[in-house]
A = this chain, B = another copy of it.
Amino acid sequence: MQKETLCLGLLSLGPRSGYEIKQMFEGPLSDFYSLSFGTIYPTLNNLQADKYVSCKQHSQSKKPDKKVYTITKKGMELMKDNLLSDASSYIRSGNFGDQIKSEFFLLLLFSKYLPKETMDTVLNERVLYLRQKLEQFKYDGPVPGNLDAIRNEKSVSFIRGLASSLIETGLNYMEKNRHLLKEKTK
């Protein structure tokens, strides 16, 4: 999916600044996709130049102006069109996997070259991290206003449920099977 479509999609949930869009990518969304500042800011500028979003500057003495972007009608149309062609090409491509870079799995793969205490720490920390993630996905209390809109999306409850079951499965598997990694060759 193009960065433009993605930014428009997030802005369709409500007006936001570039900084706030980045915050969305650092929240629960980070587990599925992310964009950096170096991508977000230029994209917003381009979208504004082409009238897909409008921008209101909120002066904040001495801090840089906060630029709050609102999606326009033209922007909504572009987003929907792009989304449809993205879905079509996703289907046509036949590539339904996700693009993943997992340092954890590489360390696992080469664990025989690592001291077993090191690998033990890696696993422990991963477990701790996953427990934390699980809590986040299950947490149903209030969230910062910023992230509220995305939280209330219908599809998000489906996604949160899916993520929770996956993490639970991963944790159970690791607790039951991590002893397998200890049988080292030499």
Copies in the assembly, this chain: 2
Q: With a CB–CB cut-off of 8 A, which chain B residues contact A122?
A: 87, 90-91
Q: In chain A, residues 165-183, which have Cβ atoms closer than 8 Å to a Cβ of chain B?
A: 165-166, 168-170, 172-174, 177-178, 180-181, 183
User: How many Å lie between the Cα of A98 and that of B126 in the bound state?
Assistant: 10
User: How many Å lie between the Cα of A151 and that of B79 in the bound state?
Assistant: 43
- What sequence of 0s and 1s flags, for each residue 99-117 of chain A, a beta carbon within 8 Å of any chain B beta carbon? 1111111111111111100
Q: With a CB–CB cut-off of 8 A, which chain B residues contact A156?
A: 109
* A161 CB–B CB distance under 8 Å: yes
User: Do B103 and A90 touch across chains, with their CB atoms under 8 A apart?
Assistant: yes
Shortest A21–chain B CB gap in Å is 14
Sort chain A's interface into a size bin: 35 or more
Q: Give the residue of B32, B33, B113 whose beta carbon is less than 8 angstroms from that of A83.
A: B113
Which of A84, A110, A177 has the most chain B CB atoms inside 10 A of its CB?
Answer: A110
Closest Cβ neighbor of A108 among chain B residues: B155
Q: With a CB–CB cut-off of 8 A, which chain B residues contact A59?
A: none
Shortest A170–chain B CB gap in Å is 6
* A62 CB–B CB distance under 8 Å: no
Shortest A47–chain B CB gap in Å is 16
